[in-house]
Amino acid sequence: MTSVKETSLQFNQKIKVSFSGGALSSDSGLLLYQEFDAKTGFSRLIEERLKIKAKDPVIHTRHTNAQAVVQKVYQHLAGYHTDDEAEELGREPAFTAILEKKRLASQPTLSRFNQRVDDETVQSLEAINQAYLDRLHALRPSAQMVLDVDSSNFETFGNQEGSAYNAHYQDMGFHPLFLFDALTGYCLKAALRPGNFYTSRDGVAFLRPVLEHLRSLAPGLDLALRVDSGFTVPELYTLCEGMDVFYAIRLKINSRLIQKAQELIAARQKKQAMPVGTSAVFYSEFS
């Protein structure tokens, strides 16, 4: 890291100002993550299961492909989300202690790793994530799981592959899918999509493997799915009902729903003598 050189004050040459305070770090909180990593075996999973198209597992004389992935994970944890920040972190004490290196992989080294990534690599990273989640589930098993699926907007700049205009967000970017376990906050799966993909596109294919895996992992698990109106497609209803998954799917407003709602409102107002203009929320059901 860049430091200010030692300097003497003009009014008294015996007084020196120095910024070289030894091996200081503002990222020491990563040591707690490293302890958790060691206990749950996340980095070991990467070492064992990462697949890369290059025959040589080493992208530099001091760095393997798996080590590059682990470094990128820890950089993200500490808020260093771009590869070029590896230059500043080259000899950062906390990072070098955690990764057991004298110097971190540089930005060019990380770029060489990125160039090796292909579909098989992405699939191996997804498998690593799933295997890790399975370990966490085994450590703290649950009788139920609430799944939240949604898409998001990732704004892009420049001519990036897959970047496209999204009319809903009125922006250029990607439109990825995410799946979360609402009870734990775990991100179970993510998929990058072009920016002009509609919300529900590939949604069923995205969700099906996860439901099948959870059913095989814990057959008695109570599963519930929550999605917004963008995922309102018959194939999703069929998938949930076929796999015994409870679901709550918001419907887009339409004339039929408005008619049904007005009938319910009128009945409730008559029953409870609610004055016109009163704000109230109530629930009902109909076929």
**Are 110 and 180 in the same domain?**
no
Pairwise CA distance, residues 220 & 231, whole Å: 26
Element housing 227 (H / E): strand 222-227
pLDDT digits (tens, 9 = 90+) for 220-250: 899 999 999 999 899 999 999 999 999 999 8
Q: Which residues contact 166 (CB under 8 A, 6 or more apart)?
A: 153, 172, 173, 175, 195, 196
pLDDT at 66: 94
**Are 146 and 237 in the same domain?**
yes
More confident residue, 135 or 11: 135
**Helix ranges (DSSP H) in 50-104:** 65-77, 85-88, 93-98
235: left (phi over 0), alpha (psi -120 to 50) or beta: alpha
- Domain hosting 243: range is 142-249
Element housing 46 (H / E): helix 42-49
Number of domains in the chain: 3
**Are 147 and 241 in the same domain?**
yes
Q: What is the pTM of this model?
A: 0.76
Q: 189: which strand partners?
A: 179
Q: Which of 112, 141, 170 is the last residue of a domain?
A: 141
Supply the CATH number for residue 166's domain. Answer: 3.30.420
- Secondary structure of residue 17 in the 3-state scheme: strand
More confident residue, 167 or 275: 167
**Are 127 and 219 in the same domain?**
no
Q: Is residue 2 part of a domain?
A: no
**Are 190 and 208 in the same domain?**
yes
Q: Is residue 258 part of a domain?
A: yes
**Are 202 and 154 in the same domain?**
yes
**Are 209 and 133 in the same domain?**
no
Inform me whether the pLDDT recorded for 13 exceeds 70: no
pLDDT digits (tens, 9 = 90+) for 188-211: 999 999 999 999 999 999 999 999
**Are 170 and 133 in the same domain?**
no
**Are 183 and 89 in the same domain?**
no
Residue closest to 266 by CA, chosen among 247, 231, 222, 258: 258
Q: Which of 141, 175, 190 is the last residue of a domain?
A: 141
pLDDT digits (tens, 9 = 90+) for 210-225: 999 999 998 889 999 9
pLDDT digits (tens, 9 = 90+) for 89-110: 999 988 998 999 999 999 999 9
**Are 159 and 239 in the same domain?**
yes
Q: Which two tokens stand for residue 40?
A: 């749950």
Chain position carrying tokens 């060489």: 112
Q: Is residue 234 part of a domain?
A: yes
**Are 55 and 126 in the same domain?**
yes
Pairwise CA distance, residues 102 & 29, whole Å: 19
